[in-house]
Structure 1
Amino acid sequence: MNSPHHEAAPLSIPLTEDLIRGALDLERTEHGILPHRLPARARAQYSDEQLAMAEAQPSGVRLAIRTEATTIELDTLRTKMAYQGVPPRPDGLYDLLIDGRLTDRASVTGGNVRLVDMATGSAETHPGPVGTVRFTGLPAGPKDLEIWLPYNEVTELIALRTDAPVEAVPARGRKVWLHHGSSISHGSNAESSSTTWPALAAALGGAELINVGLGGSALLDPFTARALRDTPADLISVKTGINLVNADLMRLRAFTPAVHGFLDTIREGHPTTPLLVVSPIHCPIHEDTPGPCAPDFSNGTVQFKAVGDPAETAAGKLTLNVIRAELARIVAQRAEDDPHLHYLDGNALYGEADFAELPLPDQLHPDAATHRRIGERFAELAFGATGPFAAGRA
């Protein structure tokens, strides 16, 4: 598959909304369609570059078509992140799933490069051409195809071509799972978009994923809560904590009301939907040391370190242990009046023993093997027979 020797795909397929899953908004650009994971109203309320990049990287966004095609081509214009003085990041991967099974992978060439100087915070974009991802030699006969877009490249969809007609994959009666979290939920160092831990958990749990994992931006923003409130979903989870610590964004006095407000807003649109609050996974640098978190290039790779003072937790600075305890308390308090609200300790997904076996390569983000472990554990704990997302309960 993905051979350079191919027959052209002669049919031009309109990129209509019903073919695209997992986005909260589709922006028409001068080139084509740019999927977003926050709605325009939310994007207009804060112009932070980190947030803008994260929500426009299409983690969990995929094309879903039913077709007899044996060749499929997708033209895209990517924007790839690069960092001054750091080796180039690997190309993002497009995952091809046939009838739910990962069958092939490919990348595109060309595209824009967004070059960031982490020392100064400045950034500039170098433009590049449209590229094509091509899958050939697909099995004959009708099949459901999904093309998962790279979680780490802003991706404008330009054109779709096949060698047979297509239709949108019809609804399969699956529950829609809406998840919000940090870069770990966004994808961090997962192998590809269909193998981030939320994508793996959704596949194991038989759910349709909408991933609002936003790298560096799980900060209890009210506009994110409103986006979750206004998005139709059967199951909702909110994983929060690590970004609040490593951004050193707020103190305990602000954190507790912000969590309540975030959950209140979600409940305005989803009063009885199963809602799971997930605390941070184990991360030694921030277990008992507050933020901020700073990049460390001393060994030639990007590592992260906590630069706060543990003594300042007495004055309300946040650590992961402080956040876990407070989230557990808040959920227990609210659950007295909200039987559909649940709590999951992130250490049950990845704890101290897991770190000893599968350490975080940069001290902050899990690798591909750890994404798989977290996804499998979440599926068991949330979608399993006694979990809050179990078929009988949800």
Structure 2
Amino acid sequence: MSTEHDWITTPVTADLLRGHLDLERTAHGLLPHRLPAWARRQIPDDRLAVAEAQPSGVRLAFRTRATVVELDALPTRRAYQGFPPPADGVYDLLVDGRLTAQATVPGGNVRTVTDMVSQTSELSEGPAGTARFAGLPAGDKHVEIWLPHTEITELIALRTDAPVEPARDSGHRVWLHHGSSISHGSNAVHPSAIWPALAAARGGVDLVNLGFGGSALLDPFTARAMRDTPADLISLKIGINVVNGDTMRLRAFTPAVHGFLDTIREGRPTTPLLVVSPLLCPVQEDTPGPLAPDFADGTLRFKATGDPAERAAGRLTLTIIRDALAAIVEQRAADDPHLHHLDGRDLYGESDHAEFPLPDAIHPGPEGHRRIAENFARLAFADNGPFSTGTC
């Protein structure tokens, strides 16, 4: 840590954080969670347990005149046996809404997945580190530090060369979003560039991101958490994890969607609620899951391994999922005028795929995240869109 300033240490407390649903006090500091403790006790696998603890969309928000900010943190990164170690997660610092500086925290823990199917892993412990941001503009300003979306982050201490106070209420509407690994931010290179963050910035809303890699599976505890979370706007991007995990047949999927929506409506009966079907993903459009890793060209890609002939027996594909979601929303909309549907191919379709192909066959790259955000903002936040200012 630099000694050139008279440092002020500010404890990291709940009033400095945005985008989380719960905070856990650990031996090292404060660990943001995106599901409440009661819901975490019902999580059935390590994949979701890790995903919800990765702070996608979570950020510190404060006002200060500081020109130097340091954040001590202990990261826990996820690695895969046989692959190069993961890059250090990026911390984005925004000043008055503009990306101004970036930093990383070296060291930390590494959890190495030894079996990609069972998600068996081994933990190697390491030291905490510091994300340092210097040369910030002088004067009073609104500062946000977006935490890495790809690694669990325990927050230890915030140091500045001027006092810090929690950010004032922005007055913006709160957008609560649930989705899969694409919403979580897979293949985005820094946390404020995941598509929900980019779309939120375009729409002038405050994001709470419940995008969970591999785990948008219509879990009832996720629906109850959303029901109990104050929000002005709600969206669900569902379907692809159900297909690539081969977790349901059509007979189970349809009532599960109804039940998920019913639960949210118990607590948010008139909140604008947008159901988004899967984006274009050619390997799963008409071939059922499960997905499997494919190293044919020496890089990690994915392929669907199901038999298309079994669609008639209820095996799910993205095409079938989209038709089912459209029918469910159409059926319910007669009694729920605040419920809306968006075909995911309007966010990322054939022309988008031709311009920005999926690098690993299932996740967009950085350009794809920007395109999805642009399309979502244009369709959802427009004057005639489901999330226009006239809807709530």
Q: Is the 8 A contact 1:6 1:136 kept in 2?
A: no
* Offset from partner CA, 1:44-98 (integer Å, 9 cap, x none): 0124100011000000000000011111100000001110111222221100100
In structure 2, the residue matched to 1:290 is 288
Unaligned runs of 5+ in 2: none
- Are 1:103 and 2:64 an aligned pair? no
Match of 2:81 among 80, 84, 102: 84
- Are 1:51 and 2:44 an aligned pair? no
In structure 2, the residue matched to 1:331 is 329
Deviation of residue 279 (structure 1)?
0.3
Q: 2:339 and 2:60 mapped to 1: Cα distance?
A: 32
Deviation of residue 223 (structure 1)?
0.2
Match of 1:191 among 189, 192, 196: 189
Deviation of residue 393 (structure 1)?
2.0
Q: 2:61 and 2:383 mapped to 1: Cα distance?
A: 29
Q: 1:47 and 1:162 mapped to 2: Cα distance?
A: 41
Q: Is the 8 A contact 2:65 2:139 kept in 1?
A: yes
Q: Is the 8 A contact 2:188 2:194 kept in 1?
A: yes
Counterpart code for 1:16: T
Match of 1:31 among 19, 28, 32: 28
Q: Secondary structure at the match of 2:390?
A: coil
Deviation of residue 378 (structure 1)?
0.3
Superposition TM-score, scaled by structure 2 size: 0.98
Q: Is the 8 A contact 1:86 1:301 kept in 2?
A: no
Unaligned runs of 5+ in 1: none
Q: Secondary structure at the match of 2:75?
A: strand
Q: 1:297 and 1:90 mapped to 2: Cα distance?
A: 21
Percent identical: 68
In structure 2, the residue matched to 1:307 is 305
Deviation of residue 6 (structure 1)?
7.1
Q: 1:285 and 1:322 mapped to 2: Cα distance?
A: 14
294-303 vs 222-231, which deviates more? 294-303
User: Residues 100 and 9 from structure 1, CA distance in 2 versus in 1: closer, same or farther, beyond 3 angstroms?
Assistant: farther
5-14 vs 155-164, which deviates more? 5-14
In structure 2, the residue matched to 1:319 is 317
- Are 1:371 and 2:377 an aligned pair? no
- Say how many residue pairs are matched: 391
Counterpart code for 1:251: R
Match of 1:130 among 128, 131, 142: 128
Deviation of residue 298 (structure 1)?
2.6
Q: Secondary structure at the match of 1:208?
A: strand
Deviation of residue 7 (structure 1)?
2.8
In structure 1, the residue matched to 2:39 is 42
Q: 2:51 and 2:385 mapped to 1: Cα distance?
A: 30
Q: Is the 8 A contact 2:59 2:146 kept in 1?
A: yes
Counterpart code for 1:386: N
In structure 2, the residue matched to 1:228 is 226
Q: Secondary structure at the match of 1:392?
A: helix
Deviation of residue 384 (structure 1)?
0.8
In structure 2, the residue matched to 1:343 is 341
- Are 1:94 and 2:94 an aligned pair? no
Deviation of residue 9 (structure 1)?
5.8
User: Residues 295 and 6 from structure 1, CA distance in 2 versus in 1: closer, same or farther, beyond 3 angstroms?
Assistant: farther
Q: Secondary structure at the match of 1:198?
A: helix
Q: 1:69 and 1:143 mapped to 2: Cα distance?
A: 9
Q: Is the 8 A contact 1:73 1:134 kept in 2?
A: yes
In structure 2, the residue matched to 1:353 is 351
Q: Secondary structure at the match of 2:375?
A: helix
Q: 1:6 and 1:32 mapped to 2: Cα distance?
A: 23
Counterpart code for 2:191: S
Q: 1:382 and 1:116 mapped to 2: Cα distance?
A: 38
Q: Is the 8 A contact 1:99 1:143 kept in 2?
A: yes
Match of 1:246 among 234, 237, 244: 244
In structure 2, the residue matched to 1:219 is 217
Q: 1:73 and 1:216 mapped to 2: Cα distance?
A: 33
122-131 vs 80-89, which deviates more? 80-89
User: Residues 317 and 8 from structure 1, CA distance in 2 versus in 1: closer, same or farther, beyond 3 angstroms?
Assistant: farther
